[in-house]
């Protein structure tokens, strides 16, 4: 609260009086605007290009002279884009559902139960955070080939399986369950509530905020995952959006209006999700980041 | 037989953990150990086995490291370059933006959203948008440069500029994340420290040097480690911004992970690729440990 005013005031104090303060505020806004413009312009340019007919690309103009939806029509009808959307949604929803359920249940157990091997299990899970995904892709690929997770419908599982439980999420949920009083759980136990019931009806409702943050981050992460889906999905019909997009470029190297249309199609839905949930996403980053 | 309350608790705990235990053993621990094993073999992807070759794959990587024009040498030197350019740029720019954002109230949310938006966008889409911006002649940058009478730049088309061009995009994409973490850290610094220092006659840069910076130290360490690791693992941007996804032009942008992908999944030299990932693992481990040790200084408040 007062931090904001004070650190603002401190720098302003070096200027001279009210005029200096106004000048510094103005400069702050000017600098931030230049930066924001650099962040936003690439997106705008992508969208603008996607509405331009091909001949307009060579001339420099901010707005399309004859805006068209033809690019969207062509991309959606001539590629597997709708299928890739579907795949990305399936994979992201499945992983996110699993993550939210399991990370919560495991975090809860590691926080609220006493049992032999507890610390070992917790450390064993945390230790996996030190292993980069890149080190696992070759063994995962080997497993996927051996168990046929890289053909047919099994590809959905093949793409999703690395992300169904996350050590970071378990850690986060465990931290949050620390804030749930044990007395509450014991009271429910006295009333004869089952252990599953206690977790689902008391633990979960009290940690919904953390679960929501976890869900949003996992959804975004899975939606944008690239290296592993690229490796494991062997059939075009099972590509996720980023993988499909990457192959799409290979097929239309110089047709920038089509590539920008495809990039818009891939990024706009998630940008909308972000805009709707921006408050929670940004708060969640600050929260999880500082805990880490 | 009736179980005691404690025994029941233990049973429930293991029941709740069962799926996760299976997952962590089969999907995390076993593959991690298996990759050390594969790295010691002449692994055949299609058979799922291969003869034991000991440290030969590591020896091959070591040899390649010293061959002037080998892919792996380029990958390691480039990856070092990405980290050396990218991390400081990211840390300084993000801190600057966070300090500015901390000083405003009106439109603050709008700015945060703008700076964070690239972070939620797929790296592949980001790569293509920037390919289009960087494109000679018709690209937006070329046209803007033309208006400003700056000579046209080749960006990703030239071996001299390609790496820096990709670093710029990587920083652009992940800047918002660091900004938000910095901001959260700045907000945690008690206002009374600034007030006390101002009563003592300190102002401006001195407040920043003696209060903000030292108190932000844990955040800076955390972000430096995070950003270093993300630059060490650079893949999607490079694969989608270099010609044919091979880390060119003239290997000037290839990274360790891109070489893992190419050696493992294009040339099917899995043993060699696995050895590369083990090297990457140790590099990340070492950097994390060293940075945590050297950068975490304790301050008395």
Q: Which of A10, A131, A165 sits opposite B198 (nearest CB)?
A: A10
- Residue A48 inside a domain? The answer is no
Quick check: is B52 in a domain? no
**Predicted confidence (pLDDT) per residue in A64-106, tens digit:** 888 889 899 988 888 888 999 999 999 999 999 999 999 999 9
Using a pLDDT cut of 70, give the percent of chain B over it: 97
* Domain identity same for A17 and A125: no
Candidate from A12-16, B51-55, B177-181 with smallest mean pLDDT? A12-16
B44, part of any domain: no
Is A23 in the same domain as A90? no
Give the residue numbers spanning the domain of A177: 79-291
pTM for the structure as a whole: 0.90
- Residue B76 makes CB contacts below 8 A (sequence gap 6+) with B65, B256
Q: Is the pLDDT of residue B299 over 50?
A: no
Q: Do A142 and B48 make contact, defined as CB atoms within 8 angstroms?
A: yes
Number of domains in chain A: 2
Selection from B253, B71, B74 nearest residue B157 by Cα? B253
Given a cut of 90, is residue B301 above it in pLDDT? no
Domain membership of residue A122 (yes or no) is yes
Q: Cβ contact (<8 Å) for A139 and B236?
A: no
| Count of structural domains, chain B | 1
pLDDT-derived band of residue B298, with 50, 70 and 90 as boundaries? Answer: low
Clarify whether residues A166 and A30 are in a common domain.
no
In angstroms, the separation between the Cα of residue A130 and the nearest Cα of chain B is 7
Q: In this structure, are A115 and A18 located in the same domain?
A: no
Contact B13 A49 (CB under 8 A): no
Inform me whether the pLDDT recorded for A14 exceeds 60. Answer: no
> Quick one: average pLDDT of B120-147?
91
pLDDT given for residue A161 in this prediction: 94
**Mutation to test the A interface, candidates B33, B37, B124, B243, most A Cβ within 10 Å:** B124
In a domain, A58, yes or no: no
In this structure, the answer to whether residues A254 and A172 fall within a common structural domain is yes
Residues 166-225, chain A, touching B (beta carbon < 8 A): 167, 170, 195, 199, 220, 223-224
Determine the Cα–Cα distance for residues A104 and B54; give it in Å rounded to an integer.
42
**Above 60 in pLDDT, residue A7?**
no
Q: What is the pLDDT of residue A144?
A: 93
**B133 and B139 in contact (C-beta within 8 Å)?**
yes
CATH number, domain containing residue A123: 1.10.3720.10
Do residues A274 and A136 both lie within one domain? yes
In a domain, A63, yes or no: no
For B193, the domain range is 65-295
Please check whether residue B265 lies inside any domain of the structure. Answer: yes
Asked, as a colleague might, if the bond just before A105 is cis with ω within 30 of 0, I would say no
* Distance separating alpha carbons of residues A195 and B16, to the nearest angstrom: 10
pLDDT at B167 over 70: yes
Assess whether A28 and A92 both reside in one domain: no
User: Partners of B52 in the beta sheet?
Assistant: B41
What per-residue confidence (pLDDT) applies to B297? 56
Question: Is residue A134 reached through a cis peptide bond, with omega within 30 degrees of 0 on the bond before it?
Answer: no
Residue A136 counted as domain residue: yes
Asked if residue A47 is part of any domain, the answer here is no
What pLDDT band is residue A33 in, cutting at 50, 70 and 90? very high
Q: Are A232 and A140 in contact (CB under 8 A)?
A: yes
- CATH number, domain at B148? 1.10.3720.10
Chain A contact set for B111 (CB, 8 A): 32, 36
Q: What is the pLDDT of residue B296?
A: 60
Q: How confident is the model at residue B198, as a pLDDT? A: 87
For residue B30, tell me if it sits in a domain.
no
Domain-embedded: residue B301? no
Partners of B49 in the β-ladder: B44
- Shared domain for A7 and A94, answered yes or no, is no
The mean pLDDT of A205-228, rounded to a whole number, is: 91
Co-location of A225 and A287 in the same domain: yes
Question: Are A167 and A276 within one domain?
Answer: yes
pLDDT digits (tens, 9 = 90+) for B259-271: 999 999 888 889 9
């Amino acid at each position: 609260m007062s931090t904001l005013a004070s650190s603002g005031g401190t720098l302003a104090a070096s200027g001279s009086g009210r005029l200096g303060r106004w000048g510094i505020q103005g400069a702050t806004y000017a600098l931030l605007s230049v930066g924001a413009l650099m962040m936003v312009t690439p997106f705008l340019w992508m969208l603008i290009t996607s509405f331009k007919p091909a001949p307009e690309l060579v001339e420099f103009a901010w707005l399309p002279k004859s805006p068209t939806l033809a690019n969207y029509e062509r991309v959606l009808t001539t590629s597997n884009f709708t299928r890739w959307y579907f795949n990305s949604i399936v994979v992201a929803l499945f992983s996110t559902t699993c993550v939210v359920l399991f990370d919560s249940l495991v975090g809860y157990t590691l926080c609220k139960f006493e049992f032999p091997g507890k610390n070992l299990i917790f450390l064993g899970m945390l230790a996996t955070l030190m292993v980069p995904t890149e080190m696992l892709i070759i063994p995962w690929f080997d497993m996927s080939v051996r168990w046929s997770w890289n053909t047919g419908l099994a590809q959905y599982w093949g793409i999703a399986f690395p992300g169904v439980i996350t050590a970071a999420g378990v850690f986060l949920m465990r931290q949050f369950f620390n804030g749930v009083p044990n007395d509450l759980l014991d009271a429910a136990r006295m009333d004869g509530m089952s252990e599953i019931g206690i977790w689902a009806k008391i633990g979960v409702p009290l940690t919904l905020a953390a679960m929501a943050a976890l869900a949003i981050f996992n959804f975004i992460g899975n939606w944008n995952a690239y290296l592993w889906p690229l490796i494991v999905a062997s059939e075009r019909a099972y590509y996720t959006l980023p993988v499909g997009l990457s192959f799409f470029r290979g097929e239309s190297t110089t047709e920038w209006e089509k590539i920008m249309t495809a990039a818009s199609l891939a990024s706009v839905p998630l940008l909308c999700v972000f805009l709707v949930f921006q408050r929670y996403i940004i708060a969640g980053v600050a929260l999880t980041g500082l805990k880490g | 037989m009736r179980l005691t309350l404690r025994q029941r608790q233990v049973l429930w705990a293991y029941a709740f953990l069962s799926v996760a235990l299976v997952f962590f053993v089969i999907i995390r621990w076993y593959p991690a150990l298996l990759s050390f094993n594969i790295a010691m073999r002449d692994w055949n992807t299609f058979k799922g086995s291969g003869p034991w070759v000991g440290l030969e794959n590591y020896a091959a990587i070591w040899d390649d490291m010293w061959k002037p024009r080998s892919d792996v040498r380029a990958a390691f030197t480039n990856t070092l370059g990405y980290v050396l350019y990218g991390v400081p740029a990211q840390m300084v720019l993000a801190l600057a933006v966070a300090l500015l954002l901390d000083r405003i109230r009106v439109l603050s949310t709008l700015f945060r959203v703008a700076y964070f938006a690239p972070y939620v966008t797929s790296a592949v889409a980001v790569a293509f948008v920037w390919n289009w911006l960087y494109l000679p002649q018709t690209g937006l940058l070329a046209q803007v440069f033309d208006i400003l009478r700056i000579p046209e730049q080749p960006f990703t088309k030239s071996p001299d500029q390609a790496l820096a061009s990709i670093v710029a995009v990587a920083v652009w994409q992940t800047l918002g994340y660091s900004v938000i973490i910095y901001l959260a850290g700045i907000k945690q610094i008690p206002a009374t420290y600034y007030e006390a220092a101002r009563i003592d006659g300190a102002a401006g840069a001195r407040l920043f040097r003696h209060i903000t910076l030292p108190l932000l130290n844990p955040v800076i360490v955390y972000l430096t480690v995070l950003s270093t690791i993300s630059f060490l693992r650079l893949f999607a941007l490079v694969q989608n911004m270099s010609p044919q996804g091979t880390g060119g032009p003239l290997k000037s942008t290839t990274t360790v992970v891109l070489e893992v992908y190419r050696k493992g999944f294009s040339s099917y030299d899995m043993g060699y690729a696995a050895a590369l990932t083990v090297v990457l693992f140790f590099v990340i481990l070492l950097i994390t440990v060293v940075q945590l040790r050297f950068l975490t200084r304790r301050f008395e408040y």
